Structure 1
């Protein structure tokens, strides 16, 4: 009898383990307005930041990577990032967006994390990089700490696919195919 109750409690808790976010497919991500740091801009050789609001995500097909400011989180979905680069999607209809939660970094490493973000912006100026110094999006979107979350948005900014944690090779292929389909629909 006790075992049955235990199993019932475990099974009731399973939905919380399956979905570690609060995204609703077909809708925009919950609104976030990042005023401390925000979007990293690169003009000639100068870096600057501007406020960023998640309502700005509409307009292009996107893959968003929301990651903790830790090397371990960055590595979780490096296979997808490589696949996105290799796909060479058209920049006029597609933009990768990386949001780094520097509030979820190893203490004292924030300066180094921002340096890595600036290096990536220099190498990929067409990509969008957001610094979330206070972890606002993690909180608003119900994401776990120390993790990497992938979100695919259509050009209207609506969620088409999302997963927290490492993607399998099959999931990477699915995301690349989905992005291709969404970009084709945008012609």
Structure 2
């Protein structure tokens, strides 16, 4: 019986480590490409899609929000989104990049996730929004299911902050302060 409990504990610990993200401060994000659907583009009022690659995350300070295609994941870091809006960062030196994992949506809601992403692109045209139908980014970065990851990168694409799950009020302030510092 003791052997079974030990084995169960070891399995739980190993699976916990296996699901931990592999994004590290001081490094670039792991390489990832989204071919279906990809980054949303606007042409007038029409939304299109183009292949997106993580190697294009340079040139500006960015907050990357990688979220499951679920409203609960979107709401997880709503206070950060409000803080970003309030900060009114310059579009010349800052960009938000939202990566939506459509593969991690509640069954039958994929169409809603897609239309919601398209509506967001129309409302926030300056933001980079990536719709990831197959979860390529979540797999490459080993992100938790049904969650949200926040990553701050500098203009060279180097990670300066990373956390999965909801940010505390202190962490929201830390992220906004870090972005302001990196834009100087």
TM-score computed with the length of structure 2 as normaliser: 0.90
Structure 2 gaps of 5+ residues are: none
Tell me if the contact between 2:24 and 2:162 (Cα under 8 Å) persists in the aligned partners: no
Q: Which runs of 4+ in 1 moved over 6 A?
A: none
Residue 128 of structure 1, CA deviation: 0.4
Cα distance in 2, alignment partners of residues 26 and 42 from structure 1: 33
Partner of 2:49: 49
Contact 1:76 1:165 in 2 (8 A): yes
Say which SS state the counterpart of residue 183 (structure 2) adopts.
Answer: helix
Which SS does the other structure have where 1:121 is aligned? Answer: helix
Q: Does 1:158 align with 2:153?
A: no
How far the C-alpha of 1:37 sits from its partner, in A, is 0.6
Q: Is the 8 A contact 1:62 1:152 kept in 2?
A: yes
Distance in 2 of aligned mates of 1:99 and 1:121? 12
Structure 1 counterpart of 2:59: 59
Which residue of 1 is the match for residue 120 of structure 2? 120
Aligned length: 176
Deviation at 1:119, TM superposition (A): 1.1
Taking the aligned partners of 2:85 and 2:116, their CA distance within structure 1 comes to: 18
TM-score, length-normalised on structure 1? 0.89
Instruction: Show structure 1 runs of 5+ residues with no match.
Output: none
Structure-2 separation of matches of 1:68 and 1:155:
26
Match of 2:179 in 1: 179
Tell me what 2:102 maps to: 102
Q: Is the 8 A contact 1:99 1:131 kept in 2?
A: yes
C-alpha RMSD of the superposition: 2.0
1-structure distance, mates of 2:24, 2:164: 14
Q: CA deviation at 1:73?
A: 0.5
1:20 Cα deviation from its structure 2 partner: 3.0
